[in-house]
């Protein structure tokens, strides 16, 4: 197929309208860049550095060996296109690994796009890093005297959520082991951490979001390599008033080259504290400058979810949040955050043992997740809701669940809360305990104090593949008398270690919860849609009769 036959604008519209790219301007720019370079006959000249500089805003001295941002964004783009392909009725788009080639497969006549071939291939570039041809100019500055630099597209700034400008970090002083590579790594870790969260829009480069109509902040990282302990100073300021919003200090390992693993984890924790649903910036933004009332009201509804998340056992604790978002949707709002959060609140009503405040919450959740442009959204809240819903279907669709799991883990690879959810489903529902354990280990590295829910995957893995003693010790860490599954797992580990004193306690607690017999336990586990292997192992050790020794 000739390049002139390819209508890039229509293909971009088709992909964007599917919602698979979410609100990521980076992903849109990256896909557009790859298509455009080929269209203009420069496809074979694409280099990793050209993407880093002209699309992702990195400096001219970008080093792919120390800064993985291109690999990360290409990985994200492939995952997003996989979401698009999973339901697209017209076109399949793939980018083979280790390549910048884009392959299209037509499913049915694409009259909208003006494409008539069954399959065609765009040769955008060869293997990553092979090309040695000079950088091609993607963004052309018409201003006289303007330097060649990264220019953000108009959609970089958000008009519906707060904007945060991530300024390039600076090294204060000199040090033999810390140089520009260290600065690039710090920027990379900050970018990765902040990109996980959909409550704040992250922008880079030469951009000014003061006219976006929403609160605007900027983040500056300064690296101090000298002194007893080198450290990173992180400051967030209000871009309108220049007032300090938040400051944080991260100690670095002395004499380390680049950024050590502990420091990178501390950076991810900082990003989470700053930008998650209950973070500093979302809370601060509510008192910031909004040019219109409607976006602020929508944002306030989302913040209300954070206020009530800990009270899901009491319907009145989140009834106000549900009503707020339902009213917001009636005004025409289709923000993926709102839809994903509201769908989650619906799903927990019919999947949990709580009074329902929504008429037929399952149907309500399905209706939300099937809204046009939401079905393929890569928004973490939408993915989380889709994952919860998919695990409750019978029979379960393992390929669908795996795709959603991987997408969510890719979107938030350093956020313990969702990694815990994915690890539990990977193990208990899909039966992929190796992947589940990898995610669980990642949670432990990110946050050793992540709470009782983090131990469920560890216990399941040890129950199947480890020692009885270790699984029993983990049981003590996750035990919660109000959670039936917690009690059942502890009963299994107690019986497996022949600790009949504790086993009797757990049997009595289950009976108090109206789980009287072994058949009741089996029925309970069946309702959870657990995989046969873990169900069999649990049932093997959950005798409801008192014994001195069941071995």
First to last CA, the chain: 70
Q: Residue 536: pLDDT above 90?
A: yes
Q: Which of 130-139, 180-189, 419-428 shows the lowest mean pLDDT across its residues?
A: 130-139
Sign of CA dihedral 300, 306, 312, 316: negative
Convert the pLDDT of each residue in 324-351 to its tens digit.
Answer: 999 999 999 889 999 999 999 999 888 8
| pLDDT score recorded for residue 111 | 43
Rounded to an integer, the average pLDDT of 107-120 is 41
Rounded to an integer, the average pLDDT of 380-384 is 94
Closest CA to 378 of 73, 166, 35, 69: 73
Query: 217 near 162, Cβ under 8 Å?
Result: yes
| pLDDT score recorded for residue 108 | 60
Q: Residue 458: pLDDT above 90?
A: yes
Predicted model pTM: 0.70
> Hey, how many other C-beta atoms are within 10 angstroms of the C-beta on 111?
9
Cα–Cα distances in Å, from 150 out to 36, 50, 217, 349, 392? Answer: 16, 11, 20, 47, 46
| pLDDT score recorded for residue 177 | 64
Cα–Cα distances in Å, from 229 out to 224, 246, 254, 268, 546? Answer: 9, 22, 6, 20, 59
Look up residue 161 and give its two tokens.
């959520």
Q: Which domains does the chain have, with CATH numbers?
A: 3-122 (no CATH), 157-279 (3.40.50.10070), 451-551 (no CATH)
Q: Residue 133: pLDDT above 70?
A: no
Q: Residue 373: pLDDT above 70?
A: yes
Phi/psi at 415 (nearest 5 deg)? -115, 105
Look up residue 153 and give its two tokens.
């597209």
Strand partners, 273: none
> Could you write out the DSSP letters of every residue in 108-177?
S-BTTTTB--SEEEE---SBTTT--SPPPP-S---STT--S--B--GGGS-SSS-EEEEPPPEE-S--SS
Rounded to an integer, the average pLDDT of 199-206 is 90
Q: Residue 141: pLDDT above 50?
A: no
> Hey, how many other C-beta atoms are within 10 angstroms of the C-beta on 157?
21
What's the rounded Cα separation, in Å, for the pair 412 and 94? 22
Look up residue 308 and give its two tokens.
């009530």
> Mean pLDDT over all residues of the chain?
82
| pLDDT score recorded for residue 423 | 96
Closest CA to 196 of 284, 248, 271, 279: 271
Closest CA to 397 of 86, 91, 80: 86
| pLDDT score recorded for residue 109 | 54
């Amino acid at each position: 197929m000739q390049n002139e036959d390819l209508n890039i604008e229509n293909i971009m519209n088709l992909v964007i309208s599917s919602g698979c790219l979410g609100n990521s301007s980076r992903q849109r720019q990256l896909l557009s860049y790859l298509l455009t370079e080929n269209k203009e006959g420069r496809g074979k000249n694409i280099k990793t550095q050209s993407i880093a500089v002209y699309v992702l805003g990195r400096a001219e001295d970008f080093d792919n060996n120390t800064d993985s941002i291109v690999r990360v964004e290409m990985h994200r783009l492939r995952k997003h296109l996989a979401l698009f392909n999973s339901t697209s009725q017209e076109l399949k788009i793939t980018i083979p690994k280790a390549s910048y080639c884009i392959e299209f497969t037509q499913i049915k006549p694409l009259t909208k796009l003006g494409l008539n071939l069954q399959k065609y291939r765009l040769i955008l570039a060869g293997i990553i890093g092979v090309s040695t041809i000079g950088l091609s100019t993607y963004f052309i500055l018409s201003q006289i005297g303007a330097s060649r630099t990264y220019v953000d597209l108009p959609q970089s700034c958000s008009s519906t959520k707060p904007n945060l400008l991530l300024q390039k970090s600076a090294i204060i002083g000199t040090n033999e082991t810390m140089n520009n590579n260290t600065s690039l790594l710090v920027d990379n870790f900050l970018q990765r951490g902040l990109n996980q969260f959909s409550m704040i829009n992250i922008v880079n480069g030469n951009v000014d979001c003061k006219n976006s109509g929403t609160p605007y902040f900027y983040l500056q990282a300064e690296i101090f390599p000298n002194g007893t302990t080198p450290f990173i100073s992180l400051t967030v300021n209000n871009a309108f008033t220049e007032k300090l919003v938040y400051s944080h200090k991260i100690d670095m390992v002395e004499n380390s080259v680049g950024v050590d693993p502990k420091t990178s984890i501390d950076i991810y924790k900082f990003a989470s504290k700053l930008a998650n649903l209950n973070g500093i910036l979302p809370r601060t933004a509510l008192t910031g400058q909004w040019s219109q009332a409607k976006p602020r009201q929508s944002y306030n509804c989302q913040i209300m979810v954070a206020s009530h998340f800990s009270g899901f056992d009491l319907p009145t604790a989140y009834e106000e949040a549900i009503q707020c978002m339902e009213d917001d949707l009636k005004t025409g709002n289709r923000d993926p955050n709102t839809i994903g959060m509201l769908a989650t609140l619906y799903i927990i009503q019919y999947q949990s043992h709580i009074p329902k405040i929504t008429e037929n919450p399952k149907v309500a959740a399905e209706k939300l997740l099937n809204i046009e442009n939401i079905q393929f959204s890569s928004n973490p809240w939408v993915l989380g809701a889709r994952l919860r819903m998919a695990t409750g279907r019978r029979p379960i669709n393992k390929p669908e669940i795996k795709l959603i799991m991987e997408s969510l883990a890719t979107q938030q690879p350093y956020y313990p809360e969702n990694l815990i959810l994915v690890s539990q489903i990977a193990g208990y529902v899909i039966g992929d305990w190796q992947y589940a354990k990898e995610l669980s280990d990642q949670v432990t590295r990110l946050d050793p104090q992540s709470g009782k829910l983090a131990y469920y995957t560890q216990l399941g893995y040890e129950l199947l593949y480890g020692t009885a003693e270790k699984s029993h010790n983990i049981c003590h860490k996750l035990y919660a008398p109000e959670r039936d599954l917690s009690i059942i797992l502890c009963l299994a580990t107690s019986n497996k270690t022949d600790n009949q004193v504790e086993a009797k306690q757990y049997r009595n607690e289950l009976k108090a919860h109206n789980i009287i017999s072994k058949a009741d336990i089996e029925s309970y586990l069946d309702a959870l849609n657990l995989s046969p292997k873990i169900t069999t192992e649990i049932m093997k050790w959950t005798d409801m009769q008192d014994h001195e020794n069941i071995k």
